Amino acid sequence: MAKFVLGALVTNIAGSVGGTTLRRVPNGFSMYNKPKGTSTSRLLSNARLPEIGKIFQRWALLSDAERAGWNAQALLITFPDKFGNAKNLTGRQLFSKANIQLLPTGNSVNDSTSFSNEYPEFILTTYTFDVSIPAFQVTVEAPIGVGQVLISVEISNKQIYQPTFKSRKVIWVGDIESPDANIQFPLPLLAQYPYVSDGMWIAVYVQSINSFGMLSPYQYIIAEIQG
């Protein structure tokens, strides 16, 4: 990987040219060879792909009024692009984004009426990670009890010093209650990581999500598993 500094003529760059990918990093920009990608067998094992395909197909099944509503709503909100600049999506892209992000919750949305990109506010407070009971739970404080939280985890034999924010499987969806809620997920965690034992380390990542699939930034807890 090579780092480089942009000059007066080119002030920002991201994307791929041939087999070379250019991207922003905390200290500037980097350039590296583009990976060949995920194997076909792994893609076919992704249970979400058929569901995502159905979401794309659903756009054509919406009424003219519903599509017009998404198109109008898309003009009112923006999302950061690869350069960090605020950009509008198309109505179809906003509809797809909302429903794809809702997949872990089992919910979906066709009507954009009352659309909001405001996610439920919450604070992570206490937690218990004990494999002997077993008990894996976090307490979520929320001033307004509307919405849900998505739980994903990282397990390691070595101490986890800092979070790694990347796409992970959501193992549990918990309801937010006011003023606080105890979100318990021992069974789904042990189903996903049956080898977990005391002395290992866990990072729990939590995002809140509203009824239109809009997600909060991650909050997290890193701790050693007891047993």
Structure confidence by residue, pLDDT tens digits, 95-141: 999 999 999 999 999 999 999 999 999 999 999 999 999 999 999 99
User: Distance (Å, rounded) from C-alpha 159 to C-alpha 192?
Assistant: 20
The CA dihedral of 146, 178, 133, 168, to the nearest 10 degrees, is 30
Give the helix, strand, coil percentages of the chain, each rounded to 5: 25, 30, 45
Q: Are 97 and 90 in contact (CB under 8 A)?
A: no
pLDDT higher than threshold 60 for residue 73: yes
Higher pLDDT, 15 or 149: 149
- Taking only the tens place, the pLDDT of each residue in 74-102 is 999 999 887 788 999 999 999 999 999 99
Could you tell me what percent of the chain has a pLDDT over 90? 69
Residue among 116, 172, 117, 180 nearest 149 (CA): 172
Q: Domains in the chain, ordered, with CATH?
A: 2-33 (no CATH), 40-105 (no CATH), 123-224 (2.60.40.10)
Q: What is the pLDDT of residue 7?
A: 62
Chain Cα centroid distance, residue 101: 7
Residue 205, pLDDT score = 98
**Average predicted confidence (pLDDT) for the chain:** 87
36-40, 123-127, 165-169: segment of lowest average pLDDT: 36-40
d(C-alpha 95, C-alpha 72), whole Å: 12
